[in-house]
Every structure is written in C-alpha cells, then in structure tokens.
C-alpha cells in the first residue's frame, strides 16, 4: 500500500487557540484536544465517520503541538488556501485579518496573484487567486 500524507504538524505556543483558529478558517472541526496535541479535520468527518473511513480515504488533518520557543524565520513549508470564483476573496482575506492574521512580506513581487498572510502565531500561509476547481 505504501505511504500517504497523513497530517501536517504545526508547532505553536498555544495549540488549542491556534487549532480553533484554523478550524474556523477552514470550516473544519477539532477532533482531538489535549495538552499534548490538537487535531483538526474536515467538517464532514465526525468521530464515527473518521473511524469507519477506509485508511486510503482519510484526508490529511492538521495537528498542533506545543513548543516553548517563539517562531523564528520564515516557514520552510506553508499551506496554500483558495476560494471558489463565486466567493469574495478580498472579503475572506479581510475576515482572516479581523480574526488575527496579518499580512506578510516574504519577498514576493507586487504583481503576484496570491496574498501572503501569517496566522496569529506568525506561521505564513498563502491565499491564492480564486479557482473554479
């Protein structure tokens, strides 16, 4: 069967807060919440559905784990988010900023089709141009 992408782990100072922020951002929910880790998965998967889903069909989740140190330097890996053409991309970005995201300059040219943001703990991510699929 081989390997598959299971999750993306995000180191952070406050896993519960950041997991909730990302769950709201993606329309997902927190599946698991302890002092050691918080797991966020797509909203259509409740605990029972998650357990019944065949291994190869379980989508990747986000796992937030605590670290003592502050983030230093740019991410070596980041998430790309996109909205549908029918959505108000600028309004969605404004909503992210209202909820604690901030704009980031990572050296991108002025004419790019994506916007670089930081989550409330400084992890960079991009909001791509709107997509049809």
Domain ranges of the chain: 7-66, 79-127
Q: What is the pLDDT of residue 33?
A: 95
pLDDT value at 99 more than 80: yes
Q: What percentage of the chain reaches a pLDDT higher than 70?
A: 99
CA separation for the pair 77, 86 (Å, rounded) = 28
Q: 64 near 18, Cβ under 8 Å?
A: yes
pLDDT value at 3 more than 90: no
* Architecture of the domain defined by 7-66: 2-Layer Sandwich (3.30)
Global confidence as pTM: 0.91
Average pLDDT value for residue range 89-106: 97
How far is the CA of 62 from the CAs of 7, 11, 38, 105, 133, in angstroms? 5, 11, 8, 24, 22
């Amino acid at each position: 069967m081989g390997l598959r992408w299971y999750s993306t782990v995000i180191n952070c100072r406050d896993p519960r807060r950041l997991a909730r922020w990302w769950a709201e951002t993606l329309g997902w929910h927190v599946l698991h919440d302890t002092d050691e880790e918080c797991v966020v998965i797509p909203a259509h998967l409740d605990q029972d559905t998650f357990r019944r889903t065949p291994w190869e069909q379980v989508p990747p989740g986000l796992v937030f784990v605590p670290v003592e140190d502050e983030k230093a330097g740019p991410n070596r890996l980041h998430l790309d988010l996109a909205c549908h053409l029918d959505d108000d991309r600028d309004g969605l970005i404004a909503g992210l900023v209202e909820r604690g995201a901030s704009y980031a300059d990572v050296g991108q040219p002025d004419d790019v089709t994506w916007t670089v943001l930081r989550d409330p703990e400084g992890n960079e991510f991009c909001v791509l141009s709107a997509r049809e699929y």
